[in-house]
Structure 1
Amino acid sequence: MIRFATIGTSRITELFLESAKRIPDFSLTAVYSRSEEKAKPFASKHGATYTFTTIEELGACEEVDAVYIASPNAFHAEQAIALMNSGKHILVEKPMASNAMEVKAMIDAAKKNGVVLMEAMKSTVMPNFVELQNHLHKIGKIRRYFASYCQYSSRYDKYKEGIVLNAFKPELSNGSLMDIGVYCIYPMVVLFGKPLSVQASSIKLESGVDGEGVITCQYEDMDAVIMYSKITNSYIPSEIQGEEGSLIIDQIHTPTHIEVRYRDNRTETISSPPEHPTMYYETKEFIDIIQSGKHQSTNNSLHHSLVTMEIMDEVRKQTGIVFPADKK
């Protein structure tokens, strides 16, 4: 049994717990929030014994083995490092941190303390993504990776009214790239590694974050095109193009239907409907790593998280998106 604490009481933590409670070896022991008024009812609702309002108290709790961090991006690194220094395993929401400098510090802390650190990128540990990896050879020499994730944010309506919510605040290391674009970049890194070059453009909002953007990446013998947005919708699938066919992915962030379309017009469905809620798989992967004595996930590895963040740093550098966390 792995005894968890959660940081954050938002909807994403609710979804995490709905999924995690399906895993027999998962147990929720504690809840952290900056306010006792939020921590206590959340803990009561989900059956947690302890509540904490300081990271130091949480780190000192011997009844907690692992912590799921779903705080704003700007707090990920500081909280994770403090808890890893207290011997806790860390499952941290995407993106792992504000920048590559913070990710490197988190990786150093994980290695120094001999604990598991994993980014909660759900898509790349889902069974359908593994099937995609297993069938990649069928489309021959790969020439292009195309990923699109454009989802109009309900918070953008408030933004246009002059109310800037967390999703559009640079001081929290937020914006379209960090919230949406990462879902397109991470699978590319898992499948093809680090690109040789990156070119980016984006629409910068008055608050200082990006509303949408486009990234092109060059590999030795293929390219990649990524489109992401929080201010428009898109309804087109993502695609990996090979010389013998293409893999069509319905949703790059949550692949539920994937098919191969061959040059001779044959089609082959290689996906299956998920048996569990999407966040189940990242939690199961994390628990399995801890119990097996391994140090990290194969797909959601520390290397993949670092390369993804290095790409996002370069995108922000080219598009003029700067966070306060970059100046620390």
Structure 2
Amino acid sequence: MIRYATIGTGFITDSFINGAAKSGEMKLAAVYSRTEEKGRKLALQYGEDVLSFTDLEKLSKSSLIDAVYIASPNAMHASQAKLFLQHGKHVLVEKAAASNAMELMEVMNLAQEKGLVFMEAMKSLTMPAYLLLKENLHRIGRIRKYVGIYCQYSSRYDRHKSGEPVNTFQKKFSNGALMDIGIYCLYPLVDLFGEPEIIKAQATILEDGGVDGSGSMLLKYRDMEAALLYSKISDSHLPSEIQGEKGSILIDRIGSPRELTLMLRDGSKEVLVPETEEEDMVYEALEFVKTIRENRSFSSINHRHLAESVHKVMDEARRQVGLSFPSDEKYRK
């Protein structure tokens, strides 16, 4: 069993803990929270033997854990990952794993130097429906278009509009629509087709907080185009789609796919619904453990080159829309 700790007390942490438990390969040993009360409450929720820490340094040095799952605000991911890698712990970190590509590369270099695992938690790439998508992609012939859509009205947006300083909409935390959910549209694209030749981005920048509430990208490849639409201030009920010369594949939810619809030009239609666990973060937990046991620093699914490529595209998109984070300043020439 891989003994792990968590950083963060939000709903995503609960989801991962449940997924990790479902894997049968990971055991929750400790949780971290800035406040003792929240930490103890979370720890007790998952067992009397789960410890609570309010000191990150002590947690990183603890001999009771082998790994850490980081779900703090984006701007803290890189520094926290480095701390745990320095003390010999494997790291699984929520997307976006860093504020920019340079920061990400520093962390990955450290993981490789230490012989430890560093993995960005992009669960969709590990889910059965996505793996099935890759198996069936050849059936629609030469790919000509990719449309990735993820628009979901944030449960925290109303609080932001009322004047409350919510992390999700604060530039200092390296947040916003692209970093939080646009990344879900981008990862499959780059995984399947590589880095685009041309990137054109636009965004709606929110007045308070200064981050992008919504945005879009047009990306050009040698023989295909892609369009990404993402928003935290409006909803969409449209599926994502990959179009080929022989047909199309519809993806129900690009961030957590469970159902594919294959529509061929001969008029045939096939709905593919692979068995998927309700605790769908189990698949990334299993991939994380597999990478540890194979003594590799990076997952073969969400590998180093893929993560770096995705973050480079996001950096360029932010540059085009004029969105910079405090964390970017360190790398400006």
Q: TM-score range by the shorter chain?
A: over 0.9
Aligned equivalent of 1:126: 127
1:74 is paired with a residue whose SS is helix
Q: TM-score, normalised by structure 2?
A: 0.96
Determine if contact 2:128/2:258 at 8 Å carries over to the other structure.
no
Aligned equivalent of 2:217: 215
* Distance (whole Å) between structure 1 residues aligned to residue 14 and residue 138 of structure 2: 38
* Segment drifting more, 301-310 vs 83-92: 301-310
2:88 is paired with a residue whose SS is coil
* Distance (whole Å) between structure 2 residues aligned to residue 41 and residue 211 of structure 1: 32
* Distance (whole Å) between structure 2 residues aligned to residue 273 and residue 157 of structure 1: 36
- Whether 1:54 aligns to 2:55 is yes
**C-alpha deviations, 1:58-114, integer Å up to 9, x for none?**
121111101000000000000001110111000000111111111011111100100
Aligned equivalent of 2:34: 34
Determine if contact 2:22/2:279 at 8 Å carries over to the other structure.
no
Runs of 4+ with deviation above 3 angstroms: none
In the TM superposition, 1:85-124 aligns within 5 A as 85-124=86-125
Deviation at residue 8 of structure 1 after TM alignment: 0.7
Aligned equivalent of 2:301: 299
Deviation at residue 220 of structure 1 after TM alignment: 1.1
Deviation at residue 40 of structure 1 after TM alignment: 1.8
Stretches of structure 1 that go unaligned for 5 or more consecutive residues are: none
Size of the aligned set, in residue pairs, is 328
**C-alpha deviations, 1:99-155, integer Å up to 9, x for none?**
111101111110010001111111011011011001111110000110000001121
**C-alpha deviations, 1:10-37, integer Å up to 9, x for none?**
1110111111111222111111122222
* Distance (whole Å) between structure 1 residues aligned to residue 53 and residue 130 of structure 2: 37
* Distance (whole Å) between structure 2 residues aligned to residue 115 and residue 294 of structure 1: 7
* Distance (whole Å) between structure 2 residues aligned to residue 49 and residue 177 of structure 1: 35
Aligned equivalent of 2:136: 135
- Whether 1:157 aligns to 2:158 is yes
**C-alpha deviations, 1:164-206, integer Å up to 9, x for none?**
3111000001111111100100111111111111100000001
* Distance (whole Å) between structure 2 residues aligned to residue 139 and residue 83 of structure 1: 44
1:284 to 286, 308, 326: 286
* Distance (whole Å) between structure 2 residues aligned to residue 260 and residue 193 of structure 1: 23
Q: TM-score, normalised by structure 1?
A: 0.97
* Distance (whole Å) between structure 2 residues aligned to residue 146 and residue 285 of structure 1: 27
**C-alpha deviations, 1:224-270, integer Å up to 9, x for none?**
10000011111111000000011111111111110210011111223
Stretches of structure 2 that go unaligned for 5 or more consecutive residues are: none
Determine if contact 2:115/2:296 at 8 Å carries over to the other structure.
no
